[in-house]
Structure 1
Amino acid sequence: MPKTPDKTRRPGYAPADNSGVGRRGLHKRERILACAANVFLANGFHSTSLDTIARAANSSRATVYQYFAGKEDIFRELSAVAGRAVLDHGGRLGDLGPTADGIDALHRWLTEWADIYDTHAAVFAEYPGIGTALSVIDAGPVAEEFRLRVTAQLHAARLRGLDPDDAAAALMRIPHMVHLYQRRAMFPLPGREPLSWSLTVALQLMLFPDTPADILPRDGRQPVSSTGRPAAGAAPAPQTLIIPSSPVGQDVLSASSSLFAEHGYYAVSMEEIAAATDISRATLYRHFSTKDRILAELTREALIEIEQHAATLPGIADIEAFTTWMVGYVRFHRRYSGVIRAWFDGAAAEQLSEAALDHGITAIHHAVQKLLEPVRLPDGLDPEVAGAVFLAVLGRMTEPTAATAPESDHRTAELMVNLLRRSLLRAG
């Protein structure tokens, strides 16, 4: 971590005329930050206590308080350092285009992004993509500045058939999600180098589908398919769902889903849910004793719906049917966006059935695998990475791609289909 000699001890733990932390203090402070990052990465922010951080740093709780007001303060600083690295990276995209030099520029940029992700994984793993706000930080300003820097460079690239804002969103979100899948071992993915080149091929073709096939990575740089790829056999059996029979219960679930999407699961209180549902706290607690029970019910609803929707994923030959399916998916994802986001939080996920979550994720992964089986992928694109890219499009491109009013479901679905057709689902 970079040194910050201007930092001081927390007031109350040292005399005012001796508030500088000094060289030894800086070393201790940096050790606390480094150990906290490891603990956050292992346990998640919400499952990490200040005592756990203190033990990891071989310090006491009081010593940690000399440098930080709490774990939120520590995480904000880790986020600030990550944000500076991200913003610097946003201006280093280079000259892109349907040329060998353009491919190399994109590959360098994606490799640098992988380095940044690994360095700041404790921060990035806490939210599924830059631009998602946590209750302890607001990534919005960094995400917007990053978007502006990348978009400005994409304007110079003279894209065809793809708006620069849409292209910037793809470059911001898709690599992040694929690296998140890899870090959490959600799907079998190849090692760092083949993953980097596969991402390069997929994103190069999203931006420039007219890139000549003979300059795409191959030979020594061509990714080797990961071993142990699960066959796309029978789809998992559908889960059963118990829907609350009370209209009040359904109103609570609907209001909660909207609040979770707008503010995040941890930022919403039971009092706010009761107010949004226009019921008393006593009435709310008669239906749901805790907030995690609400999340569990919403999760069961979402899982059964995505399993049913995944089972109807059409082939790519019928583009109209494929687009219609995508519109339905966008509506599903937007309706449950706060719930789905909570699945990526370790503490929230622990409150849910791991088997159920795996079941739902397997359903959509299976559907994507089955769709991609007959597809002739571009040279240099690992099949598992192709599947991860497809899932990243489903997982992140439902969000608006610019700082404007929310986009229509149809427009978003058409963009997602366009990105996939330009890169993975190419004719011929």
Structure 2
Amino acid sequence: MAAQSENETLRREGYGPTSLVVGQRGARTRQKIVEETLRLFESQGFHATSVDSIAKAAGTSRSTLYQYFESKEQIFVELLEECGSALMRVVRRIGPLGPTRLGFDNLHWWLGEWAYVYDKYATMFVQWASVDTPGTSVQPLVTGFVRSYDERIARRLESSEIAGLDPLDAALAMTSVVHRFNYFRHMGLTPHRLSSEQLLDGLAVFVQLMLFPDTPLEVFDSIERPPRSKARAVRAAGKPGEEIPDRVAGLRPRAAATVRQLIDAGARLFADRGYHGTGVDDVVAEAGFARGTFYKYFDEKLDLLLQLTRECAIDMQESVARFARIDPAAPDGPRLLREWLTGYIPFHTRYLGVMRAWLEGSLQDPRLLGVVARSTRDMHLAALKVLAKVDRPHPLDADLAAVLQGALLERVPEAALQQDAARTPEAVVELIAAVMERSLFNTGPETA
């Protein structure tokens, strides 16, 4: 047996949640640690919460905390398993699905229960979004749970005789969109004019059409038909990213090349490890420079994120303009959609870590917030413009449909590769295009 390191924490046997040796006092201490950790995750976020702050909030010492948990990650895992088990209990109770009133009612109930579980464990699900990156120790657990959840749903979809989509792909797309939509809802990023019931109704219509695009219109008779949103022109209010100074502008070619290497290294690491999981030392090591080189051009890591935010906003404006020209109902609509998605995938890959940092909501720099608000608004308006070109007879609000499109585009490219690392970019494009056409651009079942 290998010798134990003198730095390794000695943890008493049997201090888990079902231990018989802890005693009532120890059980109360353990529960207090878990409760205070959850509270700190909510107020500070996972990355900003330290073991010391947990121990202080729980009224205990660092060494005592380590008798119950090896790290804050282990506490997170315990909480994650609790909310994951709640989701699994819900999925086991799904009734038959299909293009019928009963099938839609069962789907609507399931999504409602999913929303209830999300709200009950909102703190954990919000943090789930920020730790689901390759650089975190709990990411394999998150990925494993999502894969197991998708496989369970896929078996149910296969028994429901879903057609036109691989059941596992359909499950992946559905769980990705629903989970991200619930995150948007919790963060206040959904249309405020719609009630919670209307948001759930719209989500249910979207998912029903994605799974069963030929669902008869009368199946949706119980859903209140929201008033149509008027298409609004996409107008750029100034140059994208103009709030943030360009760190490359005015530099000599050699200096500009150095800064470009630092920026590219930051983009890769933010995507791989997350913004909070990446340090300045990581960036300079990735770029092949000394630490002093970084501080010659950037004051802090936030400046690097701001530069990437500026570049992301510029590239996004070009992407938005191309997307707004698509007419899904035109003969060349499907081709143009896939061409646009083919260009979007590398954009998403490069700026994944940047956009994830935006969504976390923990960064409050006014320049960053201004760029994010403008970029998000422009993409939303472009989505409305494209949706207005399609005669959509289903009770799915256009503003809500645009938000669902955002959830689809933000989450599915990454989730598809997490499910199958060998999946080609072409396969990812086809999956996203199929979901958009079946749900967002659905003109209703064909009549004989």
Interval of TM-score (by shorter of Structure 1 and Structure 2): 0.7 to 0.9
Matches within 5 A, 1:18-417: 20-49=21-50, 59=59, 67-68=68-69, 71-128=72-129, 132-133=133-134, 135-138=136-139, 139-189=142-192, 190-216=194-220, 218-219=221-222, 221-222=223-224, 224=226, 232-237=232-237, 238-239=239-240, 240=242, 242=246, 244=248, 245=251, 246-313=256-323, 314=325, 315-316=327-328, 317=330, 318-348=333-363, 353-401=368-416, 403-417=419-433
8 Å CA contact 2:234–2:382 kept in 1: the answer is: no
Identical positions, percent:
32
C-alpha distance in 1 between matches for 2:428 and 2:184: 23
C-alpha distance in 1 between matches for 2:168 and 2:216: 24
Offset from partner CA, 1:125-165 (integer Å, 9 cap, x none): 12449965562522111112112212222222222211112
1:347, distance to aligned residue in structure 2 (A): 3.3
8 Å CA contact 2:11–2:66 kept in 1: the answer is: yes
8 Å CA contact 1:130–1:172 kept in 2: the answer is: no
Name the SS of the counterpart of 1:305 in structure 2: helix
1:423, distance to aligned residue in structure 2 (A): 1.0
Change (3 A) 1:134 1:122: farther
8 Å CA contact 2:247–2:297 kept in 1: the answer is: no
8 Å CA contact 1:36–1:74 kept in 2: the answer is: yes
Change (3 A) 1:161 1:390: same
Change (3 A) 1:93 1:130: farther
Offset from partner CA, 1:344-396 (integer Å, 9 cap, x none): 22334659621122122112112112222344434332333212211111111
Name the SS of the counterpart of 1:180 in structure 2: helix
Change (3 A) 1:271 1:110: same
Name the SS of the counterpart of 1:401 in structure 2: helix
C-alpha distance in 2 between matches for 1:352 and 1:99: 49
Offset from partner CA, 1:264-300 (integer Å, 9 cap, x none): 2233333332232222333333333432222221111
Query: Could you tell which deviates more after superposition, 112-121 or 79-88?
Result: 79-88
In the alignment, residue 224 of structure 2 is paired with which amino acid? Q
C-alpha distance in 1 between matches for 2:426 and 2:179: 25
C-alpha distance in 2 between matches for 1:258 and 1:129: 17
Name the SS of the counterpart of 1:311 in structure 2: helix
Change (3 A) 1:350 1:243: closer
Query: Could you tell which deviates more after superposition, 367-376 or 416-425?
Result: 367-376
The root-mean-square deviation of aligned C-alpha atoms, in Å, is 3.2
C-alpha distance in 2 between matches for 1:29 and 1:74: 10
In the alignment, residue 327 of structure 1 is paired with which amino acid? T
Equivalent position of 1:4 in the other structure: none
In the alignment, residue 162 of structure 1 is paired with which amino acid? L
In the alignment, residue 118 of structure 1 is paired with which amino acid? D
C-alpha distance in 2 between matches for 1:61 and 1:344: 34
C-alpha distance in 2 between matches for 1:76 and 1:52: 18
Query: Could you tell which deviates more after superposition, 396-405 or 142-151?
Result: 396-405
Change (3 A) 1:401 1:95: farther
C-alpha distance in 2 between matches for 1:354 and 1:80: 33
1:90, distance to aligned residue in structure 2 (A): 4.3
- Unpaired segments ≥5 residues, structure 1: 1-8
- Unpaired segments ≥5 residues, structure 2: 1-9
Name the SS of the counterpart of 1:377 in structure 2: coil
In the alignment, residue 99 of structure 1 is paired with which amino acid? T
1:92, distance to aligned residue in structure 2 (A): 4.0
C-alpha distance in 2 between matches for 1:294 and 1:90: 42
- TM-score (norm: length of structure 2): 0.81
C-alpha distance in 2 between matches for 1:196 and 1:35: 32
1:203, distance to aligned residue in structure 2 (A): 0.6
Name the SS of the counterpart of 1:80 in structure 2: helix
C-alpha distance in 2 between matches for 1:286 and 1:223: 58
Name the SS of the counterpart of 2:37 in structure 1: helix
In the alignment, residue 164 of structure 2 is paired with which amino acid? G
2:428 corresponds to 1:425 = no
Query: Could you tell which deviates more after superposition, 128-137 or 269-278?
Result: 128-137
8 Å CA contact 1:222–1:379 kept in 2: the answer is: no
1:107, distance to aligned residue in structure 2 (A): 1.4
Name the SS of the counterpart of 1:187 in structure 2: coil
Query: Could you tell which deviates more after superposition, 194-203 or 267-276?
Result: 267-276
C-alpha distance in 1 between matches for 2:187 and 2:316: 21
C-alpha distance in 2 between matches for 1:182 and 1:204: 19
8 Å CA contact 1:257–1:338 kept in 2: the answer is: yes
